[in-house]
Amino acid sequence: MRVELPFLSDDQAQGLSNLLSRRTLLGVSAAAGGLLATPLQAFAQADGTGTSPGAPGEAEITVDQARTAPIPIAIPSFGPGLGEQITGVIAADLESTGLFTVLPGAPGAPDFAALKGQGARAVVTGSASGSSSARVEMRLWNVLTGQQIQGTAYTASAANWRRIAHTIADVIYERMLGEKGYFDTRIAYIARTGPRHHQITRLAIMDQDGANAHTLTSGQWLTLTPRFNPVRDQIAFMSYANNRPRVYTFDLASGRQQMLGEFSGISFAPRFSPDGNQVVLSATRGGGSDIFIVDLASGAKRQITSSGAIDTSPCFSPDGSQIVFNSDRGGSPQLYIMSASGGGVRRISYGHGSYGSPVWSPRGDQIAFTRIANGRFSLGVMMPDGTGERILTEGFTVESPTFCPNGRVIAFCRQSAAGAGGAGFSSGIGTIDITGFHERPIRTATGASDPAWSPLRG
C-alpha cells in the first residue's frame, strides 16, 4: 500500500478541478434494490481554496492514471457504531482496487485547506442514524474547490448496511473514475472442506469482499463451476447429484434447482448468454465433448460443434455474436473462436503450452484464460484475435478466471501443491487487476474455488 502522498501540482489541481466541477453538474441518482436513495442539497461551498472550473479540454482521472498514482481520498468516520462500520466498508472497497489511497480525516465539516495540505483530492463525509431502519447520508467533495460532487441519503433496513456502504463506494468510484464500480456485487463459488482426495464441495455465495458467505447446497454430491445469470438472480452449476453429473440452474430467491436440458452424456461447463435466456455448455459424447446452446425457457438444445474432439469451456462474447471455447481438436487443448451459430472456427492461442478456461471480458476487448506449461499454471489475457497476450499471475494452479462487471478486475482460483497425505494443499480465491497489479486474496472461512462474479445488483 502506498503511503507517500505528493502535493498536487498546479496542472493536476486544474485538471482535477475541471473534472470534479463537470461531474458536479451531472444528474444525481443512485438506487439499488432494497435501498432508497435521495439527493441531498449541496451545502454552501467554496472556502476560498477552489479554482475556477470549466476550461475546455478538461482532464480525466483515468483508471490507468490511478494505477500509477492512486487517488488520495479522505474518509472521516460517519460516526460511532453503524457509521464507523459503514466507513470501514467504504474504505476497504476503495482500497481493494489499488486505485485509491484512503486517508483519515477529522469528522465534521471538511477543512479543505487542511485536506489539501494532506494531499487529499476528495473527501467523503457522512452520518448514519436509525436502528432497524438506517438512514445514511454521504457527501463527496472536491477538496480543491470545496464543492460538493455528490450528496445522497440512503434509507434501508439496517440489516442491509453493507449494501449501503458498497453502493456508496460504487458512487465514489464512478464519480472519481468515470466508470461504474463493482462493489455491490456477489461472488458465487465452491466451498471446499475435507481431505484433498475427497473434498466436500458446496455451492456457496458471498459478497465480493468475502462478507455474508453462506452455502446453498448440502455437500452430498460433488458440485462445480457456478456461473451467474447476467440478468436474473440465478446460477447455473454442475452437480453430480445421484451420480449423474449434469448442469443445473439454481434460483437464488426460491432455492429451486432444475436440471438443464436432456443429455445422455455428462453436461458441464455452463455459461449464460448475455441476455440471460440461454446457456452454452458442453456434453460428453464418445471420446470427446460437443458444445450446445440450451434455451432456459423451453429446455430446447441446439448443437454447435461436433468435432469428435473435446470442445468445452464455451463463453459468449458480450454482444452474443461469438463464442470462445477450449478444444483439443488440434492435439493439445487450445483456445478457439467461432460464431454463435458454430461457423468460422479459428484458433487464437499460440503461446507455449496448453490453454483452457477462457472467459470473455464484459468490455469485449479481452479474453482471460489459463495457460499450462511445464507443469505450472498462468493466468493471462489476450485480445479476441489472439494478439497481445499478457500473463497476469502464475502459480502451481491458477485457473477459473471471472471478470467483475466493469471488466477491470479478475477473480480466480489459486491452489497450492499437496505433499504426502495432502499436506500443504490449499484452495482459495484471489483477485487481480487486469494489468496484473494489486493481486490479493479474498478471505473465506473454508477452502474455495470456481469463483463467478455476479452482475451489479440493482
Partner 1 sequence: MNFKLLGALGLAVVLAACSDKSNTGASTGAGATAQETGAAPGSEADLVANVGDRVFFDLNRNTLSSDAQMTLDKQAAWLARYPQVSVQIAGNCDDRGTEEYNIALGQRRANAARDYLVAKGVAPSRITTISYGKDRPTADGDDEQAWAQNRNAITSVR
Query: Interface with partner 1 by CB under 8 A: which residues?
Result: 195-199, 201, 222, 224-225, 240, 243, 245, 265-266, 268-269, 282, 284, 286-289, 310, 312-313, 326, 328, 332-333, 354, 356-357, 370, 372, 374-375, 396-397, 399-400, 415, 417-423, 425, 449-450
Q: Name the residue nearer to partner 1 (CB basis): 297 or 420.
A: 420
Q: Mark residue 450 as left, alpha or beta (left: phi above 0; alpha: psi -120 to 50; beta: remaining).
A: left
Q: Name the residue nearer to partner 1 (CB basis): 37 or 269.
A: 269
- What torsion, rounded to 10 degrees, do the Cα atoms 164, 166, 168, 171 define? -140
Smallest distance from partner 1 to CB 264, Å: 11
Smallest distance from partner 1 to CB 413, Å: 8
Smallest distance from partner 1 to CB 287, Å: 5
Q: Name the residue nearer to partner 1 (CB basis): 206 or 359.
A: 359
Smallest distance from partner 1 to CB 245, Å: 7
Contacts of residue 91, Cβ cutoff 8 Å, sequence gap at least 6: 75, 102
Smallest distance from partner 1 to CB 370, Å: 5
CA dihedral sign, ordered 120, 122, 172, 137:
positive
User: The sheet that has 301-303: what strands, in order across it?
Assistant: 267-272, 278-285, 288-295, 301-303
Q: Name the residue nearer to partner 1 (CB basis): 14 or 326.
A: 326
Radius of gyration (C-alpha) of the chain in whole angstroms: 24
Helix/strand/coil for 163 = helix
Q: Name the residue nearer to partner 1 (CB basis): 225 or 249.
A: 225
Look at strands 71-74 and 36-39 and give their pairing.
unpaired
Q: Name the residue nearer to partner 1 (CB basis): 23 or 227.
A: 227
Cell 449434469 belongs to 246
Smallest distance from partner 1 to CB 55, Å: 51
Strand partners, 311: 327
CB atoms within 10 A of CB 148: 21
